[in-house]
């Protein structure tokens, strides 16, 4: 029976670009949350975010300036990293039964806002504005660069878009439509307008302007919202037989997933329970065989609480034996990039037998009472792991990955 395996990892995150830099930062508990430099934040209600330093990206892939949106460039850089890590050339990808699936939560807001300002002053726009800023731009440009004439798709379900694109790619492999897929997602939402929108909605902290490294604090009683950030994550997945024949290094196997939709705040816990249960059942994994949960947990009071409730609902007393950590404590919430970066993290957890911490956990919340791997990572044998994502609007996705 066909299986789907992960063979290439491409992280672009506020605390590290490339597999080694990203993993080392996670192990060390290094945060990428800092004072905003992309624009002058003085006078803004919040002056912090998770920015990816442009020089880190340009060291791998030079930015072609105004011809390409920043979000698209990060996704393309992540795709190159994943392909290089998998040892697959552009020529091999092009001649294979390949596909591209990219999750995008928003249009590139900085690009759109900048071009709108130009339009207001001149009454005209550049010819490339539509092609560079529409949601399908990243997938389209990757397809052009890697000469993919097969299935090229964009998925948009807010923060769960990226992991849902990986599931879409995995399903296409299991159906025989593809045997090699680039999948993931990315977003670049850091503009004054968007940061203000997230802050006003209580989704971005306003209490830590003078201490940005302390701002992202999932499960902590003094959490004040998920820190908005940017980034991208792309992975190579392929049919396990294809990977075996080419002698590929396999990081992990995608063994199960579940998708549910919360129709109101009251149904979020039950929808989390549904997605987790679906994933475990599809993976045929007994509850006591799960070793780790890479949580959605952005640091929003309500969201962290209901995810904890769902974990306890599904696993019962065993929940207290499960290590649960949130990498968003170090990278913030990069929207569509969050899921792929969590998948990359969890694959590296399995490979390296080490669980990264939830940093900034200082004040226990009685409603969040599980083992959150506080502040220091730990050595652990992880064979089976669960990844959770919740998108604004209610799309909840869970995935189980297992050691190869």
DSSP string, 71-93: HHHHHHHHHHHHHHHHT--HHHH
CB-CB contact of 334 with 14 (8 Å): yes
pLDDT value at residue 289: 98
Q: Average pLDDT in the 298-302 region? A: 96
Which residue is associated with the tokens 């990428």? 32
Transcribe 9-25 into DSSP letters. Answer: EEEEETTEESHHHHHHH
Is there a contact between 183 and 102 (Cβ–Cβ < 8 Å)?
Answer: yes
Name the β-bridge partners of 314.
none
Residues, the chain, total? 404
Tokens 């990955």 label which residue?
Answer: 401
The reply to whether 4-245 and 256-402 are identical in fold is yes
Task: Report CA-CA distances (Å) from 249 to 48, 79, 87, 362.
Answer: 38, 17, 9, 39
3-state class of 4 per DSSP? Answer: strand
Could you tell me which CATH number the domain at 4-245 has?
A: 3.40.47.10
Q: What is the mean pLDDT of residues 278-285?
A: 98
Name the CATH topology of 256-402: Peroxisomal Thiolase; Chain A, domain 1 (3.40.47)
Tell me what the pLDDT averaged over the chain comes to.
Answer: 94
Measured distance CA(117)–CA(321) in Å, rounded: 54
Domain ranges of the chain: 4-245, 256-402
**What is the percent of the chain where pLDDT is above 70?**
98
Per-residue pLDDT band for 320 (boundaries 50, 70, 90) equals very high
Residue 269 has pLDDT above 80, yes or no: yes
213 closest CA partner among 38, 12, 35: 35
Q: How far apart are CA 349 and CA 27, in angstroms?
A: 10
What percentage of residues in the chain have a pLDDT greater than 90? 83
What would the pLDDT profile of 129-168 be if each residue is shown by its tens digit?
666 667 888 999 999 999 999 999 999 999 999 999 999 9
- Does the structure show a pLDDT above 90 at 72? yes
Of the ranges 54-68, 298-312, 374-388, which one carries the lowest mean pLDDT score?
54-68
Task: State the Cα–Cα distance between residues 64 and 44, nearest whole angstrom.
Answer: 30
If 0-12 CB within 10 Å is exposed, 13-18 middle and 19+ buried, where does residue 286 land?
exposed
pLDDT at 282: 98
Distance, in Å, from the CA atom of 375 to the CA atom of 372, rounded to the nearest integer, reads 9
pLDDT above 80 for 221: yes
The dihedral formed by the CA atoms of 294, 296, 297 and 298, expressed in degrees to the nearest 10: 120
Retrieve residue 120's tokens.
Answer: 């207001």
pLDDT at 127: 65
Which pLDDT does position 1 carry in this prediction? Answer: 62
Rounded distance between C-alpha atoms, residue 239 and residue 254, angstroms: 11
Window from 64-68, 139-143, 397-401 with minimum mean pLDDT: 64-68
């Amino acid at each position: 029976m066909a299986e789907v395996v992960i063979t290439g990892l491409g992280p672009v995150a506020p605390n590290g670009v490339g597999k080694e830099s990203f993993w080392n930062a996670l192990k060390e508990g290094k945060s990428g949350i800092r004072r905003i430099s992309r624009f002058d934040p003085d006078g803004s209600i919040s002056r912090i975010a998770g920015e990816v330093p442009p020089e880190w990206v340009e060291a791998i892939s030079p930015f072609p300036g105004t011809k390409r949106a920043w979000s698209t460039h990060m996704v393309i850089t992540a795709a190159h990293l994943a392909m290089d890590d998998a040892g697959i050339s552009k020529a091999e990808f092009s001649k294979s039964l390949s596909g591209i699936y990219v999750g995008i939560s928003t249009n590139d807001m900085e690009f759109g806002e900048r071009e709108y300002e130009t339009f207001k002053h001149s009454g005209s726009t550049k010819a490339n504005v539509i092609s560079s800023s529409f949601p399908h731009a990243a997938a389209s440009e990757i397809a052009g660069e890697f000469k993919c004439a097969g299935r090229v798709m964009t998925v948009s379900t807010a923060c769960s878009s990226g992991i849902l694109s990986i599931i879409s790619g995995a399903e296409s492999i299991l159906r025989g439509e593809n045997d090699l897929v680039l999948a993931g997602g990315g977003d670049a939402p850091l503009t004054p307008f968007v940061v203000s929108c997230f802050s006003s909605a209580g989704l971005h902290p306003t209490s830590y302007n003078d201490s940005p490294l302390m701002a992202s604090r999932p499960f902590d009683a003094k959490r004040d919202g998920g820190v908005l950030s940017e980034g991208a994550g792309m992975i190579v997945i392929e049919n396990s037989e294809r990977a075996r024949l080419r002698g590929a290094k396999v990081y992990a196997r995608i063994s199960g997933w579940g998708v549910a939709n919360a129709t109101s705040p009251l149904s979020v816990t039950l929808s989390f329970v549904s997605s987790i249960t679906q994933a475990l059942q599809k993976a045929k994994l007994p509850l006591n065989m799960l070793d780790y949960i890479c949580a959605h947990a952005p640091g929003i009071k309500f969201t962290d609480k209901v995810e904890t409730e769902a974990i306890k609902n599904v696993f019962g007393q065993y929940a207290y034996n499960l290590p649960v950590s949130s990498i968003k404590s170090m990278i913030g919430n990069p929207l569509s990039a969050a899921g792929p970066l969590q998948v990359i993290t969890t694959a590296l957890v399995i490979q390296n037998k080490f669980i990264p911490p939830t940093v900034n956990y200082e004040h226990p919340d009685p409603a969040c009472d599980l083992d959150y791997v506080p502040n220091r990572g730990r050595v652990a044998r992880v064979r089976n792991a669960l990844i959770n994502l919740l998108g604004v609007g209610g799309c909840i996705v869970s995935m189980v990955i297992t050691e190869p």
